[in-house]
Amino acid sequence: MKNVTKRALAIVFLFVVMCNLSFFVSAASYPSTSATYNIYNLVRNSSASGGCSKMIPQGITFAGDYLLISAYCGDDVPHNSVIYVFKESDKSYYGTIKLPGTEHVGGIAYDCDRSGNVWVSNGNSVGCFKYSKLADCKGKVLSVSYNRVANLSYTASTMCYDAVNNYLWIAQFSENDSSKSFARCYAVNDKTTSTPTLPYQFEISVPLKTQGISVRGNRMMISSSYGRNNDSKLYSYTWNQTSKTKTLKSTTILPPLSEGVVMGSTYAYVVYESVAPKYYDTCSYPVKYFASYVISKFGI
Ligand SMILES: [Zn+2]
């Protein structure tokens, strides 16, 4: 073998070793999951997704007896967006809500009243439908329309409902403009009517690339990511509702393409859009699941 060839082979060998090494180091640095729930087949199952086999999951929330994950279709001529409904008790698939439009439904929240509403981001607005509709989608795809659509002057990229302080949060994603990276807090009035209102309370700034937000009493988590080959960051804060200040307690590296996050009392659940057909084969560390993590490990 010629020296030049040997050298070339050595370089290739070194490159392969380094790639594997960096992959290994990266994977090893991710926090351990408490549990994982496989949705790989579900987002490809057209009969459970309103005719779509390429759903991209986005937002996540608890809603009474259920856990909800919103998803949109990435096709050029998109199918309607959906909400996958899981039983809260064991996270098993229960049914699907088909939404009225094709919006990038990054946010979903439940206003924590059984006679109240599920809120869904709808571009520069948020729509709502009654919580009671969820039970009706058992084993099928149920189409819903919005009772009310509240217009905003910005994009509802992600949402959450703080069940302790009783406020709805709506945050806007921006890749690189911090003046457009904010979360706004609203009360939800007249929840049990068909025309609830959202009186504005205040605004805080959030990190660039915010994809998910969860607020629960004195805790706040923000999921941020961008790009299929970049690790995500999960920011964990203590939250003071009186002074309206958040204090960063930890920054956790997660696999790429983290989207929604929701906190329960003990566990936080994170959705990754890398599970979607659009990203799975090209993402550096795709996952087939949404995952739960023990919140106390994040210093809050
Ligand atoms: Zn589709």
Tokens describing residue 188: 């939800």
- Compute, in angstroms, the gap from residue 106 CA to the centroid of ligand 1: 16
- Ligand 1 centroid to Cα of residue 135, in Å, is 24
Whole-Å CA distances, 169 to 7, 9, 260, 297, 299:
58, 55, 13, 24, 22
Provide the 10 A C-beta neighbour count for residue 135.
14
Summarised one tens digit per residue, pLDDT across range 22-61 is: 444 455 589 999 999 999 999 999 999 999 999 999 999 9
Distance CA 294, CA 300 (A): 10
Query: Tens digit of pLDDT for each residue in 116-134?
Result: 999 999 999 999 999 999 9
**Ligand 1 centroid from CA 257, angstroms:** 19
Taking 80 as the threshold, does the pLDDT of residue 173 lie above it?
Answer: yes
Residue 295's identity, in one-letter code, is: I
Radius of gyration of the chain, Cα coordinates, nearest whole angstrom = 20
For 179-233, the pLDDT digits (tens) are 999 999 999 999 999 999 999 999 999 999 999 999 999 999 999 999 999 999 9
Q: Which contiguous run of DSSP H or E holds residue 208?
A: none
Confidence of residue 256 (pLDDT cuts 50, 70, 90): very high
Q: Which of 266, 276, 270, 274 is nearest to 291 (CA)?
A: 270
CATH architecture of 33-298: 5 Propeller (2.115)
Give dist(CA 209, CA 235) in Å, integer: 12
User: pLDDT (tens digit, 9 = 90+) per residue, 50-108?
Assistant: 999 999 999 999 999 999 999 999 898 999 999 999 999 999 999 999 999 999 999 99
pLDDT above 80 for 271: yes
Question: What is the rounded distance in angstroms from the CA atom of residue 175 to the CA atom of residue 113?
Answer: 34
Measured in Å, residue 296 CA sits from the centre of ligand 1 at 38
Q: What is the pLDDT of residue 29?
A: 87
For ligand 1, the distance from its centroid to the CA atom of residue 215, given in whole angstroms, is 31
Predicted confidence (pLDDT) at residue 18 exceeds the cutoff of 70: no
Report how far ligand 1's centroid is from the alpha carbon of 123 (Å): 18
Domain coordinates in residue numbering, the chain:
1-30, 33-298
CA distance 221 to 223: 7
Please, what is the average pLDDT of the chain?
A: 93
Confirm if 159 and 169 have CB atoms less than 8 A apart: yes
